[in-house]
Amino acid sequence: MAKNKTEQKQQYMICALLDDLVPEDHLVRKLDRYVDWSFIYDICDPLYSNRGTNRVDPVVLFKMMFINIIF
Protein backbone atom coordinates (compact mmCIF):
# COMPACT_ATOMS: atom_id res chain seq x y z
CA MET A 1 0.00 0.00 0.00
CA ALA A 2 1.45 3.36 -1.01
CA LYS A 3 1.97 6.01 1.63
CA ASN A 4 0.97 9.60 1.28
CA LYS A 5 3.76 12.09 0.77
CA THR A 6 2.94 13.65 4.13
CA GLU A 7 3.61 10.33 5.87
CA GLN A 8 7.05 9.80 4.34
CA LYS A 9 10.00 10.63 6.55
CA GLN A 10 12.44 13.27 5.41
CA GLN A 11 16.05 12.16 5.32
CA TYR A 12 18.91 14.62 5.56
CA MET A 13 22.61 14.15 5.19
CA ILE A 14 24.99 16.15 7.37
CA CYS A 15 28.36 16.90 5.83
CA ALA A 16 30.72 17.87 8.62
CA LEU A 17 34.05 16.81 10.03
CA LEU A 18 33.96 14.94 13.30
CA ASP A 19 36.48 17.43 14.68
CA ASP A 20 33.96 20.20 14.09
CA LEU A 21 31.23 18.36 16.00
CA VAL A 22 33.21 17.51 19.15
CA PRO A 23 34.15 20.45 21.42
CA GLU A 24 37.82 20.94 22.28
CA ASP A 25 37.24 20.44 26.02
CA HIS A 26 35.23 17.20 25.64
CA LEU A 27 36.25 14.18 27.73
CA VAL A 28 36.83 12.04 24.63
CA ARG A 29 39.42 14.49 23.30
CA LYS A 30 41.16 14.58 26.69
CA LEU A 31 41.33 10.78 26.81
CA ASP A 32 42.76 10.63 23.31
CA ARG A 33 45.33 13.28 24.19
CA TYR A 34 46.60 11.61 27.38
CA VAL A 35 46.15 7.87 26.80
CA ASP A 36 48.50 5.92 24.57
CA TRP A 37 46.19 3.36 22.97
CA SER A 38 48.98 1.45 21.18
CA PHE A 39 49.15 -1.18 23.96
CA ILE A 40 45.97 -2.67 22.52
CA TYR A 41 47.81 -3.78 19.36
CA ASP A 42 50.24 -5.87 21.42
CA ILE A 43 47.39 -7.53 23.29
CA CYS A 44 45.31 -8.26 20.17
CA ASP A 45 48.00 -9.30 17.67
CA PRO A 46 48.01 -13.00 18.68
CA LEU A 47 44.23 -13.11 18.23
CA TYR A 48 44.29 -12.21 14.53
CA SER A 49 45.23 -14.43 11.62
CA ASN A 50 47.78 -13.43 8.98
CA ARG A 51 45.48 -14.77 6.25
CA GLY A 52 42.13 -13.57 5.05
CA THR A 53 40.69 -10.10 4.86
CA ASN A 54 42.08 -7.10 6.67
CA ARG A 55 41.20 -6.86 10.32
CA VAL A 56 39.15 -4.14 11.90
CA ASP A 57 41.43 -1.83 13.86
CA PRO A 58 41.32 -3.16 17.46
CA VAL A 59 41.96 0.31 18.89
CA VAL A 60 38.83 1.61 17.17
CA LEU A 61 36.78 -1.30 18.51
CA PHE A 62 38.13 -0.79 22.02
CA LYS A 63 37.45 2.95 21.92
CA MET A 64 33.86 2.33 20.81
CA MET A 65 33.25 -0.05 23.72
CA PHE A 66 35.01 2.28 26.16
CA ILE A 67 32.93 5.28 25.07
CA ASN A 68 29.77 3.19 25.32
CA ILE A 69 30.59 2.34 28.94
CA ILE A 70 31.49 5.91 29.88
CA PHE A 71 28.44 7.54 28.33
- Please, are residues 48 and 56 in contact by the beta-carbon 8 Å criterion? no
Long-range contacts of 22-30, Cβ-Cβ distance < 8 Å, separation of 24 or more: 27/70, 28/67
Q: What is the mean pLDDT of residues 48-62?
A: 87
User: What 3-state class would DSSP assign to 31?
Assistant: helix
Q: Give the pLDDT confidence of 2-36 residue by residue, as tens digits.
A: 555 566 677 887 788 878 888 889 998 898 899 99
Q: What was the pLDDT predicted at 1?
A: 53
Q: What was the pLDDT predicted at 37?
A: 93
Q: What was the pLDDT predicted at 2?
A: 57
Q: Give the pLDDT confidence of 34-54 residue by residue, as tens digits.
A: 999 999 999 998 888 888 878
Structural domain boundaries in the chain: 35-70
Q: What was the pLDDT predicted at 15?
A: 84
Largest CA distance in the chain: 55
